[in-house]
Structure formats: C-alpha cells, structure tokens
C-alpha cells in the first residue's frame, strides 16, 4: 500500500471543461455558455452513438460542472455516494454528469439551462428544517 494521497481529479475536470469550451466556441463558463450547451445537447440527442455516449456525458458534464463552480462559487467534490459533482454553499450537491445524461434522454424536459437558471433560487432557499409531526 502506498502512503501517497490520491492526486486530485480537479485539474483533469477543469482541463476537460476548457476543451469543451474551446470546441464549442463558448466565451466562458456562465449562463450564456450553458444555454448554448443546452441547445447543442438538444441538437445532438438522436445522433450520439451508444459507444460515444459516456464520453459525451463526461465532457459536457465537466463543462456544466465548471460553470457551476465559476458562476455560483461551487467546488468540485465527491458526493455521499462517491460520485463526482459540485458542492454549493456547503449544503447542496449536484451531479452535472447526471444532468447532461438526463437531457440526452429526456430532451428539454430535463434542460441543463433550466436547471442552471434555478440554482440562484436554490441557493437562496431556506434550509429545510426538521418536521414537527406533533404540535
């Protein structure tokens, strides 16, 4: 066993996000970029071959995740189930790869742009308190 800690995956996630930004000609990691990503996913839905799907989800998820990091002050993190995603405000966790996969499956009903637009409201929402069943 090695005493060396595992290297952080963040640089690879950031590099993949930047590669998508450059490939799609996106100006930055912001709402406008996510809107263009959303349109691109919609246009490509029926054209992604099964063998390419995982790579597409991974690449686009990196871009979406980096937009969450930069636009909303998030950080790449591991979720409770070990999945990679973005933590926000120390209380929210989103898996951008799942979100991209859902839009590929369901189309606009699972729009990444609509999700991204909902984040400020989610950040401002009060933390759910414990329910009191007996008053």
Q: Tell me the C-alpha distance between 91 and 55, whole Å.
A: 29
pTM (predicted TM-score): 0.88
b/e string for 1-26 if b means 16 or more Cβ within 10 A?
eeeeeeeeeeeebbebbeebbeeeeb
Contact in structure between 25 and 39 (CB atoms under 8 Å): no
Helices (H), the chain: 10-24, 31-44, 50-72, 96-106, 112-124
Contact in structure between 117 and 56 (CB atoms under 8 Å): no
Domain ranges of the chain: 10-119
The pLDDT tens digits for 84-110 are 999 999 999 999 999 999 999 999 999
Tally of residues, the chain: 135
User: What pLDDT, on a 0 to 100 scale, did the predictor assign at position 135?
Assistant: 40
Q: Report the share of the chain in percent with pLDDT over 70.
A: 90
The pLDDT tens digits for 25-51 are 999 999 999 999 999 999 999 899 999
User: What pLDDT, on a 0 to 100 scale, did the predictor assign at position 2?
Assistant: 53
Q: Tell me the C-alpha distance between 107 and 103, whole Å.
A: 5
Residue 59: which residues within 8 A CB-CB, separation 6 or more? 16, 19, 20
């Amino acid at each position: 066993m090695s005493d060396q800690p595992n290297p952080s995956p963040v640089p690879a996630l950031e590099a993949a996000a930047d590669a998508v930004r450059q490939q799609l000609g996106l100006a930055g990691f912001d709402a406008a970029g996510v809107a263009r990503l959303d349109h691109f996913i919609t246009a490509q839905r029926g054209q992604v071959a099964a063998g390419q799907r995982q790579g597409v989800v991974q690449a686009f998820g990196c871009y979406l995740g980096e937009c969450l990091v930069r636009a909303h002050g998030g950080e790449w993190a591991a979720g409770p189930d070990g999945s990679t995603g973005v933590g926000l405000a120390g209380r929210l966790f989103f898996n951008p790869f799942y979100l991209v996969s859902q839009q590929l499956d369901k189309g606009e009903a699972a729009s990444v742009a609509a999700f991204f637009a909902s984040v400020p409201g989610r950040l401002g929402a009060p933390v759910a308190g414990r329910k009191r069943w007996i008053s």
